[in-house]
A and B are shown apart, each in its own frame.
Chain A
Amino acid sequence: MAEPISGTDSEARELDDVQFRFREDEMVDHPAVTVDAFVGQTNASAVRIEPGDDARDLLPHLGRIALVEVNFPSFGDGRGYSAARILREAGYQGELRAVGDVLIDQLSHMRRCGFDSFAPGVRLDEEDAARAFATWPEVYQAAVDGRAPIWTLRHGERNGDTNG
């Protein structure tokens, strides 16, 4: 049976090494804290959501958050997609980073749910990833990536503006 990819870049990696980032601003340079710790203190600007956390606990504090990490301990656990979208729907503009068991074939959906940086636990093949980000020529749903869904293209209700 096949092994997970290792590639040439097999040296030990920090869990949160960012491999793909779709934003220009400076990266937050301090570690993310848990949701419980974050809600209880005032100086942190980076927070990490686990699958069982309620992303809505962060909504009163969005103004002071620069980075939200959403952890995927296992790629099959899809709660992080809802967490990400809820934050974007509430107007969160900061960095939204997928961390953990982040694989090639989930990248396109994660992007649509508002993730704009990716720190896979195992480094991904760059070419495969580039292809994965470009999987969908168009999209069927309105999500939070600013892409105009197909029904908009069909009926021209609004332009396909992006919100960054």
Chain B
Amino acid sequence: MYQYDRYDQQMVDARVAEFRDQVRRRLDGKLTEDQFKPLRLMNGLYLQLHAYMLRVAVPYGTLNSTQMHMLGTIADKYDRGYGHFTTRQNIQYNWIKLEDAPDILAELSTVEMHAIQTSGNCIRNISADHFAGAAADEVADPRPYAELMRQWSSFHPEFSYLPRKFKIAVIASETDRAAMRLHDIGIRIHKNDAGELGAAFYVGGGMGRTPMISHLVREWVPLDRLITYAEACLRVYNRYGRRDNKYKARIKILLHEIGAEDYAAQVDAEYQQLLDQGVEPPFAELQRIRTFFADPPFVEGLSDGVDQSDPAFAAWVQQNTHLHRVHGYTSATISLKPVGGIPGDATAAQIHLMADLAKEFSFDECRVTHAQNIVLPHVEQRRLYELWQRLDTAGLATANLDNIGDIIACPGLDYCSLANARAIPLAQKISQRFSDNGKDAVIGELKLKISGCINACGHHHAGHIGVLGVDRKGRENYQLLLGGSEGADTSLGKITGPGFDEDGVVDAIEKTTEVYLAQRQDGERFLDTYRRIGMEPFKEALYG
């Protein structure tokens, strides 16, 4: 994986010093809170209901064990002994003191980490396929392109005060595991007929209160023009994105209002102009970055196959492992969704254990997924049982990946100052219900996503079942959505009808799954059945 050189280290150190100075000026009263707010946000620091929250960047979700250990250390030293992995492949700490923040950033910088641009109206930390470099179906490892863009987007002088936040995801396979079409820019690295790699740019996706699926703006950007084209995309947005209403300020609204074709034409004109400006790094820089993502020393000639005579292990293997491109290896997902647990939370001890396991079993590498789980990307199949036993002992072997218990949930009203309703306790109740009734495994793949307000941090629009918490006359109320998806077949969920109270929505979800179980044909997933039979049978069961 990528390692800093002295330049990268200098830049992060400079940022730590700058932020320390900003905090000092804030505490001295030289900066007003309004002036300080965007500065602290660009360093990942939010003021929440009870304390500051610090969001640490995990570029494209990739960590080595030293970095993972540091995340555990910070959880112990500065938080209450745990951290919360997020849908942007980052980690958040919910109990941070403002005056500690510069020290935390300084500690992070010793392991080549930071909290740069994890919030604010700037280009955010760049996400990628969490199986990058391991998945059998990828045409290339997408992370070198994400790293190239990380450097370009860090402290960008022109794009640090955009109309609104700006999220970029990079993938390099047909199957989209990064919700790429729901980003401001989604980049898909693909091959042309001549076998060359290029980048397709999708622009204008997003969730929030106006969910939209992105438009293909350019099918083919040569790899040695990536930065120039991205710069053109951002400049058109910076100049013409709306600034009169923060709810209409995302780039998706600009594309919606002027049309994707008009936007593409403007980007093209800007691109032609920028081609003469020398903003593109030399191809040698991309090559330099690529060398950091070379294959680890895989053992050659291993055969595929795992002894699954232990039924509990077999269930985990079938649910939580993913096809690797090298024979004899697999990618194993550690579910951070234990029955009745808080989605994405891990204790300091668990974080340290996962770091150790990454080192022992996966060439010193782990990944954070946008579904709030941890992946060990390169595990030898013949050592999988040993790994599973270690996880099981620590309560980390829940075999529920992509099932109804693998819930994505935002922090909700328990932590977040924007939320209208709690998301975590609801996720816990649902997880418990479907464990108690034994249906989690019977139902199979069913992606359930909960947001505590319309900002949609819990991705409810993209859930096969989505839940949106709203405030209804001072009481928490939950709307149910069906039919969303974030994959290659991206779609947005539709609301079933009137909302429910907390217990009511758990019952409603159970009824929804009963309709599915009664109607499913030939191994259909919930989503397939919904798409085949439509909303009516579900409405009938819920409200009839």
Residues of A within 8 A of B (CB): 1-5, 51, 75-79, 81-83, 85, 89, 103-106, 108-110, 112-113, 125, 128, 131, 135-143, 149-151, 153-155, 157
Q: Is the CB of B273 within 8 A of A105?
A: no
Contact B14–A135 (Cβ < 8 Å): yes
B503 at the A interface (CB under 8 A): no
Least Cβ–Cβ distance between B362 and chain A, in angstroms = 29
In the complex, what's the smallest C-beta–C-beta distance from A48 to chain B, in angstroms?
Answer: 17
Question: Which residues of chain A have C-beta atoms less than 8 A from B161's C-beta?
Answer: 75-78, 81, 106
B151 within 8 A of A: yes
What is the CA–CA distance of A131 and B18 in the complex, to the nearest angstrom? 9
A4 pairs with B11, CB closer than 8 A: no
Q: Does B26 contact A (CB under 8 A)?
A: yes
Whether, in the assembled complex, B475 has its beta carbon less than 8 Å from a beta carbon of chain A, the answer is no
Nearest chain A CB to B161's CB is how many angstroms away?
3
Contact in complex: B282, A151 (CB < 8 Å):
yes
CB A87 to nearest CB in B, in angstroms, measures: 12
Chain B CB count within 10 A is highest, among A79, A109, A140, for: A140
A134 to B162, CA, bound (A): 23
Q: List 9 tightest A-B contacts by C-beta distance, closest first.
A: A78-B161, A2-B29, A112-B157, A151-B281, A109-B157, A151-B285, A150-B7, A81-B158, A142-B279
Contact residues, B246-275 vs A (CB, 8 A) = 273-274
Tell me whether B157 and A143 are in contact (CB under 8 A).
Answer: yes
Contacts of A1 in B (CB 8 A): 32-33
Whether A140 touches B159, Cβ cut-off 8 Å, given contacts A128-B25, A153-B7, A154-B288, is: no
With a CB–CB cut-off of 8 A, which chain A residues contact B21? 128, 131
> Which residues in chain B, 31-61, are within 8 Å of chain A measured between CB atoms?
31-33, 35, 38-39
Q: How far is the CA of A138 from the CA of B5 in the complex (A)?
A: 13
A-B pairs with beta carbons under 8 Å apart, 14 shown: A2-B32, A2-B33, A3-B32, A5-B30, A78-B158, A78-B159, A83-B239, A85-B158, A105-B39, A106-B161, A108-B157, A140-B156, A143-B158, A155-B284
| A3, A51, A142, A153 — most chain B CB neighbours (10 Å) | A142
B309 to chain A, nearest CB (A): 53
Total B residues in contact with A, Cβ cutoff 8 Å = 46
Q: Would you call A82 and B235 a contact (CB within 8 A)?
A: yes
CB-based contact A113/B282 at 8 Å: no
B243 in the interface (beta carbon within 8 A)? yes
Cα–Cα distance between A89 and B277 once the two chains are bound (Å): 7
In whole angstroms, what is the CA distance A140 to B39 when docked?
19
Q: Are B239 and A155 in contact (CB under 8 A)?
A: no
**A91-B18 Cα distance, complex, nearest whole Å:** 32
Distance between Cα atoms of A136 and B155 in the complex (Å)? 9
CA distance A25 to B282 in the complex (A): 36
Known: A138-B11, A150-B151. 14 other contacts (CB 8 A): A1-B32, A4-B32, A77-B161, A78-B161, A82-B158, A82-B239, A103-B35, A105-B39, A140-B151, A140-B152, A142-B278, A150-B11, A151-B281, A154-B7
Write the chain A residue with the least CB distance to B239. A82
Inter-chain contact A77/B243, CB cutoff 8 Å:
yes
Distance in angstroms from B179 CB to nearest chain A CB is 27
- Residues of B3-23 at the interface with A, using a CB-CB cut-off of 8 Å, are 5, 7-8, 10-11, 14, 18, 21-22
Whether the pair A79, B277 counts as a contact (CB closer than 8 A) is: no
Interface of A is mostly: loop
On whether A79 and B238 interact (CB within 8 A), knowing A138-B11, A140-B11, A155-B284, the answer reads yes
Given A151-B281, A151-B282, check contact A76 B155 (CB 8 Å). Answer: no
Q: Which residue of B lies closest to A124 (CB)?
A: B30
Q: Which residue of A lies closest to B19 (CB)?
A: A105
Contact B29 A78 (CB under 8 A): no
Closest to B160 in A: A109
Task: Please indicate the chain B residues that have their CB under 8 angstroms from the CB of A81 in the complex.
Answer: 157-161, 238
**Min C-beta distance of B282 to chain A, whole Å:** 5
- In the complex, what distance in Å separates the CA atom of A153 from the CA atom of B284? 12
Q: How far is the CA of A75 from the CA of B39 in the complex (A)?
A: 12
Q: Assess the A137–B11 pair: CB atoms within 8 A.
A: yes
- Would you give the shortest CB distance from A64 to chain B, in whole angstroms? 22
Residues of A contacting B39 in the complex (Cβ-Cβ under 8 angstroms): 105
- 1/0 per position for B150-193, CB-CB distance to A under 8 A? 01101111111111000000000000000000000000000000
Q: How distant is A21 from chain B, measured CB to nearest CB, in Å?
A: 19
B121: Cβ under 8 A from any A Cβ: yes
B158: which A residues are within 8 A, CB to CB? 78, 81-82, 85, 109, 113, 143
Cross-chain contact A2 with B282 (CB below 8 angstroms):
no
B121, B273, B277: which contacts A142 (Cβ < 8 A)?
A: B277
Q: Which residue of B lies closest to A145 (CB)?
A: B157
User: Are A104 and B7 CB-contacts (below 8 A) given A85-B158, A109-B157, A140-B155?
Assistant: no
In angstroms, Cα B235 to Cα A78, docked, is 11
Chain A residues whose C-beta falls within 8 Å of the C-beta of B274 in the assembled complex: 89
Whether B281 and A149, one on each chain, are in contact in the complex, defined by CB atoms closer than 8 angstroms, is yes
User: If A3-B32, A4-B32 touch, does A79 touch B284 (CB 8 Å cutoff)?
Assistant: no
Whether A154 and B285, one on each chain, are in contact in the complex, defined by CB atoms closer than 8 angstroms, is: yes
A112 to B159, CA, bound (A): 12
- Assess the A75–B11 pair: CB atoms within 8 A: no
Report Cα–Cα, A110/B26, bound state, in Å: 21
CB pair B282 A136 closer than 8 Å:
no
Q: How far is the CA of A125 from the CA of B21 in the complex (A)?
A: 13
User: How near does chain A come to B433, taking the closest CB pair, in angstroms?
Assistant: 45
Given A76-B121, A109-B157, residue A89 in contact with residue B151 (CB < 8 A): no
> Once the chains bind, are B30 and A128 in contact (CB under 8 Å)?
yes
Q: How far is the CA of A131 from the CA of B11 in the complex (A)?
A: 15
